[in-house]
Structure 1
Amino acid sequence: MQKSLVLVVVLLALALVACQKEATGVEALLESGREHLEVGEYTEAIADLETVVEADPGHGEAHLLLGQAYNRTGDLLKAKDEFSTVAALEPDSAAGHHNLGVTYFQLGAPDAALGEFEVALELDPDDPDTHYQLGVVYLTISLPADDPLALPDPQLMEQAVAEFERALELQDGMPEALIGMANVYMLQADFTAAIDVLQQAIEQSP
């Protein structure tokens, strides 16, 4: 009986060591994937991060990074799937909803993007990037799709302006938001104002 107990303890210890090694391996691959992603080595990043999510399907951060890698290689459908997984695993992840919104917009689904950006802002109201992206969506859907000569929807244009202005409040001189405002001014035929903010955007760009 005593030998059996010793054997059980040994087996449990071995199992614990194996789990620790597996966890260490997963975290090492996650870090490797992140580093590859940061320097633009997307093929290597995808290989590392796919291995992580295969080993740990519930690893939200790995799905987020994998989605970003897919997005940067232009594989938008796979990116959407990864960001959707993040949103399901971690509903309070503003980054998950933000990235899903960006990908929906890139896929030509601005209404779906709008919903994701709104959720992201509920979770992180002071993120200038999300305010900017939401402004882009409002600006896009303000333009009548079936009549290129028709005037933009004024209410949606106002919402776009509000989002761009909020982004600029949170990040002074944000070039993307300035360019968004320039687009608004051009649609309003206020070319002087458009040129002015474009010059500001150029000055802010590195």
Structure 2
Amino acid sequence: MTELIDIRRVQTSVEEIFHEFGPRPGRTERIASVCAVLTNPYAGRYAPDILPMMEALKAAGLDMATRCLNALGGDPGTVEGYGKGAIVGSAGELEHGALWHVPGGYAMREILGNAKAIVPSTKKVAGPGARIDIPVTHINASYVRSHFGAVEIGVPGSPQADELVFVLVMTTGARIHERVGGLRADQISVGDGQR
């Protein structure tokens, strides 16, 4: 199965937000992303059974989740938000991006100590240099409004027509100066991944 996974490039980045209008916040928001550019073994043809690649991607998912966590210092206790996504090159189909749901999402939940909330996701088919907005929510309760966000990401020159870009994102907290109400992180009580 490992012959299905051929990673060409990995891009890791960390953004630090020190200030956004209003008073200076008492914390720095940090956002890490990891993108892997890999060959799409199904490019240019319709393959009725693509599930073998989903299984084969599990090791890549764990590696990327570990890289993302390490970019934030390595302590799962500091991560409060996450998201994932995929950009499929033009010779592929949207369903090839959906192969990332299980290996990307479960890897982050495992690395972070079995986070409860579903990992939000997006995907699209696009050409080289395309960017994508990765949705972000709280790791333990999807209804925590303060952590709703998105991270714009892309890899220069990727994906080529026969490639995929898989993305993982982790954040260390709420939006700077969040103040639109709703369920707060310190009010999570149900433990169902939603509230």
TM range (shorter): under 0.3
- Relative to the length of structure 2, the TM-score reads 0.26
Higher helix share: 1
- Relative to the length of structure 1, the TM-score reads 0.25
* Structure of higher RCO (CA pairs closer than 8 Å, 6+ residues apart): 2
Structure with larger Rg:
1
Higher strand share: 2
